[in-house]
Amino acid sequence: MDMPSLTIGRVTSRLPIIQGGMAVRVSLAPLAGAVAREGGIGIIAGSGLTPDELRAEIRAARAEAAGGVLGVNIMVAVRNFAELVKAAIDEKIDLVIAGAGFSRDVFDWTREAGIPMVPIVGSARVAKLSEKFGAAAVVVEGNDAGGHLGTDLPVRELLPSILEAVSIPVIAAGNIISGSDIAGVLASGAAGVQMGTRFAATVESSASDAFKQMYLDATDEDIVLVDSPVGLPGRSLRSPLTERLAAGVEPRIERCIVCLKKCGKQFCIMDKLVKSQLGDVEDGLVFTGGGVARVHDIPTVRELMARLVAEYGAATEGGLA
């Protein structure tokens, strides 16, 4: 069976796969453009970028996307959230995804521009509120997703209540690595999937080689939760940094760059995410989803997308979904 397409507002992708927006600087133009070119929705992570940097990434991704669908993912928690969203709107981005907080204003900005707005939600209540404000779809992130988490439940437990609560498309995110996983959540009623971890370990991902190698070496026992300054727990791979954080011996921030609207200041989240992206995985933070132990190679995006389609076909034709 062929994968269905995915329609969100006025945009349609050939495949129901959204590549997760992984900050800082992991999902940039090379990755987003390649995913869009292969029929999915490529996402540029705007958090941690300046508005001018985001504009440049959108333009570079457009050059690679061959007319495919591109979006941005920006955390509501970052101080320059409004400037980043408006920069993406100015570049006529196809859709906007926002998480790590809830903004009513962004629905007005995107509505005026005719751009679909897709919030990340962790409960039926927030999903209903999002639909009320005009969301074109919602991404449901379970506690098995990577990065900042807004729920204690895995996505497959969250899906039924959210599917019942809203009439807009529901995108599932969390522990989705294979085409068989995609088949399972689509059979449960989701309109599509968002996959971050599997795309972080691709050739086009802007993560460092050391970052990607940690994914290849990871076991389930290597996954830990850290108390992020954003105000939410974050799912990460165990490292010297996470050990220091758990022991309460990581030095406090000496100089604040004021990147967040509100910061707990346990450590500088931007600094630690940038360090891992650049290759310092001992003093950096390597965010990951719950399925990282099932990542065993670093394919190109084209190879990965073809594999996902083949696995989906085998699962659905074999009645496994």
Mean pLDDT (whole number) for 283-311: 94
Residue 110 near residue 89, CB atoms below 8 Å: yes
What pLDDT is attached to residue 121? 94
What pLDDT is attached to residue 263? 62
Q: Indicate the number of domains in the chain.
A: 1
Q: Is the pLDDT of residue 258 over 60?
A: no
- Distance, CA of 176 to chain centre: 12
SS3 at position 277: helix
- DSSP code string of 123-144: SHHHHHHHHHHT-S-EEEE-TT
Mean pLDDT (whole number) for 105-109: 95
Q: Is the pLDDT of residue 318 over 80?
A: no
Q: What is the pTM of this model?
A: 0.91
pLDDT range class, residue 298, cuts 50, 70, 90: very high
> How many Cβ atoms are within 10 Å of 295's Cβ, its own excluded?
20
* Domain membership of residue 188 as a residue range: 15-206
Residue 34 in domain: yes
Q: Is the pLDDT of residue 262 over 80?
A: no
Residue 250 in domain: no
Residue 298 in domain: no
- The residue type at 161: S
Nearest to 193 by CA among 126, 147, 142, 236: 142
Q: Where is pLDDT greater, at 157 or 77?
A: 157
Residue 38 near residue 305, CB atoms below 8 Å: yes
pLDDT range class, residue 229, cuts 50, 70, 90: low
Q: Please tell me the least confidently modeled range out of 62-71, 262-271, 277-286.
A: 262-271
Residue 57 in domain: yes
Q: Residue 255: in which H helix or E strand, if any?
A: none
The pair of three-digit structure tokens given for residue 61, joined into one six-digit string = 């991704």
pLDDT range class, residue 24, cuts 50, 70, 90: confident
Residue 5 in domain: no
What pLDDT is attached to residue 77? 80
Residue 211 in domain: no
How open is the CA angle 160-162-166, to the nearest 5 degrees? 125
Q: Where is pLDDT greater, at 62 or 270?
A: 62
Q: Is the pLDDT of residue 138 over 90?
A: yes
Residue 7 in domain: no
What pLDDT is attached to residue 320? 52
Residue 110 in domain: yes
| Average pLDDT score over the chain | 90
Per residue in 32-81, pLDDT tens?
Answer: 999 999 999 999 999 889 999 999 999 999 999 999 999 999 988 888 89
% of the chain with per-residue pLDDT over 70? 93
CATH of the domain at 108: 3.20.20.70
What pLDDT is attached to residue 319? 57
Q: Could you identify the residue written with the tokens 């370990």?
A: 201
Q: Is the pLDDT of residue 15 over 80?
A: yes
